[in-house]
Each structure stands twice: as C-alpha cells, then as structure tokens.
A = this chain, B = another copy of it.
Amino acid sequence: MTDKKTKRTKQSINREELESRILRCAEVVFAEKGYNGSSMEAIAASASISKQNLIYYFSNKELLYQRVLKEMLDIWIEKLSFLETQGDTPETVIRRYVREKMQLSRLYPNGSKVFAHEIISGAPVLKEYLISHLKPQFDRDVILVKSWISKGLVDDIDPEHLFFTIWAATQTYADFSVQMEVLLGKHRLDEADFERAESAVTDFVVRALGAKKNNYK
C-alpha cells in the first residue's frame, strides 16, 4: 500500500517486521506473566494480531518462548565475551564489564526478566545451554581473575563468587526494578537512576577487588 519502492519481496519484509514485533511483544508478556501465565491469545493481542495469525508465524508457544530466550542470550553472549581483552588493567576490564552488564539491564529489562523466571524455575529449557556455552566462558574468566591475583594486581578475592555478585548486582536493576521504584518513591527508574546505579556498583566492585589504582570519582 505505502511502499512502492520496496518492490523486492514486499511480503518478506512485512514478515520480518511482524516477526520481530511479535518477539518484542512476547518478551514483555513472558516477562510479566511467566511462561505458563502467558496465553498465546494475550501475546497476539499485545501484538495486535489474531491468535491464529500468531500461530501462523510461531507454530507453538514453546517455540516462541525459546526464540525469545535465544534472542536475549545471543545479545548477552555477544556483549559479555570481552574479559579476555588482555593488556588492559583489571580495573579497566572490570569497569567496562560492569558497565556493559548494567546497560543490558537498562536496555533489555524484559528479556532479563524472562531469563530470570527461567533460571528460578530450574532452567528446564536453558540448562543445556548454560552447560555448553556459559560454563566454558565462566571458567576462562575465572582463570583470568586468578591470574590477576597471582600477579598481585588485585587482592585475594574469591573469583567465582565475584562473578556471582557482579551478575546479581547488575541484573537486579532489571528484574527487581519494581521493588526499587517503590523504595525510591519513583514511578519509573530513569536515566539518572541508572547512572547512579552504574557508578555505585562499579565502585563497589573496584573497591572490593582492591585494584591497584583506585582513582574513581
């Protein structure tokens, strides 16, 4: 109707566009209601299409759920596989890592919530993925921190639990945002809140590490 220019496969363009719109909407619904609480009808309504049409694009609910999870994980893997940038100081690496993680909480709160629901529920869908993809990366990153320790670049902290703490402290700004909104007396966390959060968490981590140079602020 509108696009005369895009002669080439007008349908396929719409298809891609609709598919990604569905995924975005499904993400929101899954985040709020969990897998079982989200009906295909509700997701369809949220994307302003009919249930049957939704099923036409994603033939069943399980598949749609997996696609939503996968989209989130692909982003995470892409953004968080840079601990190996050797040559930088531990503090630089850590600051960048925390900043990236915080931005993921800010930019993709719903995907993060879907992930959280999944893990809390025992990771029935993602367990294999965690073993095959996350663990190797985790092991490498732990080794890197250990090498920092042995070189005396940082204090003798517990590497595994350092990562658990960083993940928890950053992800909480997506998953538990409602609680924070209540406690801070705000309707929504805004840019400024995230700035403060990022700098607070970063400083916490850097101080806890006891990195050589502590020139923050």
A117→B119 contact, CB < 8 A? no
Residues of chain B within 8 A of A178, CB atoms compared: 119-120, 122-123, 127
Instruction: For residue A177, give the distance in angstroms from its CB to the closest CB of chain B.
Output: 9
Question: B34, A197: Cβ atoms under 8 Å?
Answer: no
> Which of the listed residues A179, A196, A197 has the most CB atoms from chain B within 10 Å of its own CB?
A179
A33 near B168 with CB under 8 A, answer no
Residue contact A34 to B31, C-beta cutoff 8 Å: no
- Taking CB atoms, residues of chain B closer than 8 Å to A108 are none
Tell whether, in the assembled complex, residue A31 and residue B120 are in contact, meaning their CB atoms are under 8 Å apart: yes
Q: Point out the residues of chain B lying under 8 angstroms from A199, CB to CB.
A: 158
Contact of A116 among B138, B175, B201, B205 (CB under 8 A): B175
Which B residues lie within 8 Å of A200 (CB)? 157-158, 161-162, 165
A interface, size bucket: 35 or more
Complex: chain B residue closest to A155, CB-CB = B207
Instruction: Decide if A46 is an interface residue (CB 8 Å cutoff).
Output: no
Tell whether A100 is near chain B: CB-to-CB under 8 Å. no
CB distance A134 to B183 under 8 Å?
yes
Asked whether B169 lies within 8 Å of A117 as measured between CB atoms, the reply is no
A32 in complex: contacting residue of B121, B180, B208, CB < 8 Å: B121
